[in-house]
């Protein structure tokens, strides 16, 4: 009964709130590890474990990210290289950019200068 429609923006790869609790835990832990990783090996391994935990394939960018929308508790997990994303904060001392997913960027773009 699912109607598939094509949209102009990439669909999220997963929805955090629909994952099982232990999947959410592993994913969140892996995101922390990736965010704070000091080398590519650690980063890549954390991303691989995160993808496996939520039963998806890593996108070609090799990274996953959860929407960092400050306006809603958005559960979208997506490829940080997908089109239509919006940077919420300038890059900090972390590996992962803080990005809003495309629907959030459309619906309520984070204020941001530059």
Q: Contact residues for Zn ion (CB under 5 A)?
A: 67, 69, 71-72, 74, 76, 101, 104
Query: Shortest Cβ distance from residue 7 to Zn ion (Å)?
Result: 14
Q: Shortest gap between Cβ of 103 and Zn ion (angstroms)?
A: 6
Nearer to Zn ion, 51 or 86 (CB): 86
Going across the sheet that includes 14-15, the strands are 14-15, 76-78, 65-66
Instruction: Report the C-alpha gap between 47 and 52 in whole angstroms.
Output: 9
Comparing CB distances to Zn ion, the nearer of 18 and 40 is: 18
In this complex, which beta carbon is closest to Zn ion, that of residue 37 or of residue 85? Answer: 85
Least gap, CB of 91 to Zn ion (angstroms): 19
Backbone angles phi, psi at 46, to 5 degrees: -60, -40
In this complex, which beta carbon is closest to Zn ion, that of residue 14 or of residue 101? 101
Task: Please enumerate in sequence order all residues whose Cβ is within 8 A of that of 98, keeping only pairs 6 or more positions apart, or say none.
Answer: 68, 87, 88, 89, 92
Least CB distance from residue 72 to Zn ion, whole Å? 4
68 neighbors 95 (Cβ within 8 angstroms) = no
């Amino acid at each position: 009964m699912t109607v598939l429609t094509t949209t102009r923006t990439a669909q999220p790869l997963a929805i955090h709130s629909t994952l099982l609790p232990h999947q959410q835990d592993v994913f969140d832990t892996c995101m922390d590890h990736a965010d704070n990783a000091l080398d590519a090996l650690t980063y890549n391994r954390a991303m691989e474990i995160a993808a496996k935990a939520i039963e998806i394939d890593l996108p070609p960018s090799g990274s996953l990210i959860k929407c960092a929308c400050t306006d809603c508790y958005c559960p979208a997990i997506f490829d940080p290289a997908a089109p239509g994303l919006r940077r919420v904060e300038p890059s900090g001392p972390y590996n992962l950019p803080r990005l809003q997913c495309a629907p959030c960027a459309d619906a309520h773009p984070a204020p941001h200068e530059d």
